[in-house]
């Protein structure tokens, strides 16, 4: 199975704007690569260009040994010849076919044997919890059930590359969690390359081996999920991933130390020196500690809001003129208006210059 390479791919629908701009990516064979970003950032357009349903304005797309699009030579391989399985947000099932017929249709026209078809149908139907629905007509199904049929119909073909555009968007929260685990298991078992589109950062973090984060058609970062989470390339990446949202505080950079109020942090030698002195420091809720007593490197704050979520306690704490969201699990919770002391416990400091680029 092939790596998929995008080399300086751009797509414009109008003269003034780029839907996708100068996008270069190497999507590794067998990876679960997610295209992540807010609505309108170019995810679907990118997926459609890989599928061959949309022609780039310029650049090159290579699948394995085959140049499937080249703006220079004019090469273009038709979608059907790319050996890709596609599930789009809007899927068309055949309403007058049963669920089983919808799922097996592709195998039937490829003259796969009856025994093999039934075997694969059983496996897919049980993986996607469709066993009890096989004889129903698809017009009688809920949106979530239809979405699972659309996924099953593609998976049963065992494509080496699977393109999925927000395939879980019609499912309720519980089923979506189950289907994430199921898709992850299917990925592990089939070894297929999956290119997955979502605007849901949690979905991307939980499922992917690689995330390509896009903003306004421009790639912001392409890394493993935890790499983006812990070492975001810029302020946008830091802000887009993580729930609750990351806190940003104003800090001052001075030679090789960073100060935030009375707190001073030594910076590693690798830090860029030609920025500042005003920078912003990104602090995730779990990177901040809370204490009832003051110690070195702590700043005083006051509890504004207490937000228990069952497993975790989140607090909104006012420190000087900033409000921070902090996760803290203590046997005795803090209360509204308590005076607390906040400590920074980051393993990797996230510091951003004026333009929003990470400086470490």
Q: How many residues in the shown chain lie near ligand ADP by CB under 6 A?
A: 10
Shortest separation between residue 178's beta carbon and ligand ADP, angstroms: 25
Q: By CB under 6 A, tell whether 87 contacts ligand ADP.
A: no
Q: Following DSSP, what letter does each residue of 257-304 receive, concatenated?
A: EEEETTEEEEPPTTS--SS-SEEEEEE-GGGEEEESS--TTEEEEEEE
Q: By CB under 5 A, tell whether 247 contacts Mg ion.
A: no
User: Using CB under 6 A, which of 7, 29, 40, 231 touches ligand ADP?
Assistant: 40
Q: Phi then psi for 121, rounded to 5 degrees?
A: -60, -45
Report the distance separating Cα 209 and Cα 215, nearest Å.
20
Spell out the residues 6+ positions from residue 237 whose beta carbon is closer than 8 angstroms to its own.
213, 220, 221, 228
Q: By CB under 6 A, tell whether 198 contacts ligand ADP.
A: no
What angle do helix axes 114-127 and 99-109 make, rounded to 10 degrees? 140
CB nearer ligand ADP, residue 48 or residue 153: 48
Report the distance separating Cα 31 and Cα 4, nearest Å.
10
CB nearer ligand ADP, residue 166 or residue 353: 166
**Three-state SS at 157:** coil
85: exposed, middle or buried (C-beta count within 10 Å: 0-12, 13-18, 19+)? buried
Q: Which residues pair with 11 in a beta bridge?
A: 20
Could you tell me whether strands 4-11 and 32-36 are parallel, antiparallel, or unpaired per DSSP bridges? unpaired
Q: By CB under 6 A, tell whether 34 contacts ligand ADP.
A: no
CB nearer ligand ADP, residue 44 or residue 208: 44
CB nearer ligand ADP, residue 42 or residue 56: 42
Shortest separation between residue 235's beta carbon and ligand ADP, angstroms: 20
User: Using CB under 6 A, which of 23, 34, 43, 128 touches ligand ADP?
Assistant: 43
Binding mask 272-301 for ligand ADP (x = CB under 6 A): ------------------------------
Shortest separation between residue 17's beta carbon and ligand ADP, angstroms: 7
CB nearer ligand ADP, residue 30 or residue 42: 42
Select the binding partner of residue 31 from ligand ADP, Mg ion, none (C-beta < 5 to 8 A, by kind).
Answer: none
Report the distance separating Cα 341 and Cα 51, nearest Å.
54
From the list 287, 299, 289, the residue with the least C-alpha distance to 262 is 299
User: Using CB under 5 A, which of 31, 44, 102, 198 touches Mg ion?
Assistant: 44
Report the distance separating Cα 94 and Cα 92, nearest Å.
7
Select the binding partner of residue 40 from ligand ADP, Mg ion, none (C-beta < 5 to 8 A, by kind).
Answer: ligand ADP
Positions in 209-248 near ligand ADP (CB under 6 A): none
Shortest separation between residue 21's beta carbon and ligand ADP, angstroms: 11
Q: Which residues pair with 20 in a beta bridge?
A: 11
Residues lying near ligand ADP in the complex (CB under 6 A) are found at 13, 19, 37, 39-45
Residues lying near Mg ion in the complex (CB under 5 A) are found at 44
């Amino acid at each position: 199975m092939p790596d998929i390479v995008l080399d300086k791919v751009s797509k414009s629908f109008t003269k003034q704007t780029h839907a996708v701009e100068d996008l270069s990516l190497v999507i590794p064979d067998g990876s679960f690569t997610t295209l992540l970003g807010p609505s309108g950032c170019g995810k679907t357009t990118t997926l459609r260009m890989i599928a061959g349903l949309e022609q780039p304005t310029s650049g090159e797309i290579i699948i394995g040994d085959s140049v499937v699009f080249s703006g220079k030579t004019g090469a273009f391989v038709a979608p059907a010849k790319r050996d890709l399985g596609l599930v789009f947000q809007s899927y068309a099932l055949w309403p007058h076919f049963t669920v089983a017929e919808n799922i097996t249709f592709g195998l039937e026209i490829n003259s796969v044997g009856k025994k093999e078809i039934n075997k694969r149908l059983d496996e897919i139907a049980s993986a996607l919890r469709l066993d009890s629905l096989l004889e129903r007509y698809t017009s009688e199904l809920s949106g979530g059930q239809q979405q699972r049929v659309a996924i099953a119909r593609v998976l049963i073909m065992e494509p080496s590359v699977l393109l999925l555009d927000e395939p879980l968007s019609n499912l309720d929260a519980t089923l979506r969690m189950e289907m994430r685990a199921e898709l992850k298991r299917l990925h592990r078992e089939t070894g297929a390359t999956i290119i997955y589109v979502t605007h849901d950062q949690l979905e991307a973090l939980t499922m992917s081996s690689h995330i390509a984060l896009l903003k306004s058609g421009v790639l912001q970062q392409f890394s493993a999920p935890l790499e983006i989470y812990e070492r975001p390339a810029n302020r946008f990446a830091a802000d887009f991933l993580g729930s609750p949202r990351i806190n940003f505080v104003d800090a001052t950079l001075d030679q090789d130390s960073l100060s935030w109020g009375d707190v001073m942090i030594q910076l590693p030698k690798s830090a860029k020196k030609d920025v500042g002195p005003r920078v912003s420091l990104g602090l995730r809720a779990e990177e901040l500690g809370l204490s009832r007593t003051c110690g070195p490197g702590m700043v005083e704050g006051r509890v504004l809001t207490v937000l228990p979520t069952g497993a975790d306690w989140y607090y909104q704490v006012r420190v000087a003129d900033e409000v921070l969201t902090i996760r803290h699990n203590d046997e005795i919770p803090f209360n509204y208006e308590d005076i607390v002391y906040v400590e920074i416990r980051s393993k990797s400091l996230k510091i951003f210059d004026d333009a929003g680029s990470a400086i470490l």
